[in-house]
Amino acid sequence: MTKKEYLILIVLLIVVLMSIAIPFFLWYETYFIDFKSKIDSGSLSELATFQSFVISFWALVLNFILVIFAYKAFKYFGVKEQFHQKQFELVCQLSLDISNTDLRAVLYIKDEHVHPKYNFNYYTLFEIDYLSHVDVVLVYEDYTEQIFTFLQHKNNPLLPKRLADVLRKLSKRKDTEILNSDLLSTKNVLTLSNTKNSIDKDENILMVYSNNPIELKQNVILLKKEIESWLKKYGADDINI
């Protein structure tokens, strides 16, 4: 129910109470003397008749209003059900897309010539401890949606806003190209690529994804919690994320 409808109901309630109270007050001022005095039965009967008419009138108005609300609820019930169903399917698809995102991670430790290479699930990558020792995270692709394809859901109008906001945080990066050779000798670097992406990569040019890996990790954990919270809110209690 909208604020306007609530306001109308409050105003209507006040009018109903006043229409009942004012005639009784006028009768009290005109005919009532005290409790020991005899009350004029004719005037009391007229008051009762008038009050019955007022109550009957407002009962008719109330029934009319209830019919309107019932019609509106019936009219939009199917639309809301379809919307929530589509939204639920979208969040489930987002969760599945994230879980199916496999990453190729290469860790460059400054002053070391060995570069460990790993294949990680998206969630697993950001749950491991060594990310806290990384200074910068780079990606090979031109924009983050190429490596994290699930980020494309962020602009879907059906996606819950809180989830879309977290996805936008995860899609941010600097628009600066950094040469691998200029960076590896001074910082600990983690490079990421999508194992399912067949695009040829230029090994000499990388794009900055995050200069704050800890914040990046926190946003990934936040995304996971938001998905779990949203799904549980709609009755999906047994979730394997």
Q: How much is the pLDDT for 125?
A: 82
Token pair 């109008």 is found at 157
Q: Does residue 199 surpass a pLDDT of 90?
A: no
Q: How much is the pLDDT for 44?
A: 59
Q: How much is the pLDDT for 83?
A: 81
The predicted-structure confidence for 41-78, as pLDDT tens digits, reads as follows 666 566 667 667 777 777 777 777 777 777 666 666 56
> Quick one: DSSP state of residue 35?
S
Work out the pLDDT band at 204, boundaries 50, 70, 90. Answer: low
Q: Does residue 223 surpass a pLDDT of 80?
A: yes
CA distance 94 to 159: 9
Statement: the pTM of the whole predicted model exceeds 0.95: no
The predicted-structure confidence for 140-172, as pLDDT tens digits, reads as follows 766 678 788 899 999 999 999 999 999 998 886
Chain-wide mean pLDDT for the chain? Answer: 77
Q: Which helix (H) or strand (E) holds 119?
A: strand 117-121
CA distance 209 to 97: 20
Q: Does residue 176 surpass a pLDDT of 90?
A: no
Q: How much is the pLDDT for 141?
A: 66
**Contact of 184 with 106, CB cutoff 8 Å:** no
CA distance 130 to 116: 12
Q: How much is the pLDDT for 59?
A: 78
Percent of the chain with pLDDT over 90: 15
Top-confidence residue, 110 or 226? 226
Q: Which of 27-31, 36-40, 132-136, 199-203 has the lowest mean pLDDT?
A: 199-203
Range picked from 19-28, 73-82, 140-149, 207-216 for highest mean pLDDT = 207-216
pLDDT mean over 110-125? 80
Tokens coding 238: 């047994």
Q: How much is the pLDDT for 117?
A: 83
Half-sphere exposure (Cβ direction) of 209: Cα atoms closer than 13 Å = 26
Q: Does residue 19 surpass a pLDDT of 60?
A: yes
Q: How much is the pLDDT for 207?
A: 80
Helices (H), the chain: 3-31, 41-99, 122-125, 144-147, 161-170, 180-183, 213-233
In the chain, the largest separation of any two C-alpha atoms, in whole Å, equals: 110
Q: How much is the pLDDT for 145?
A: 80
Range picked from 1-10, 52-61, 84-93 for highest mean pLDDT = 84-93
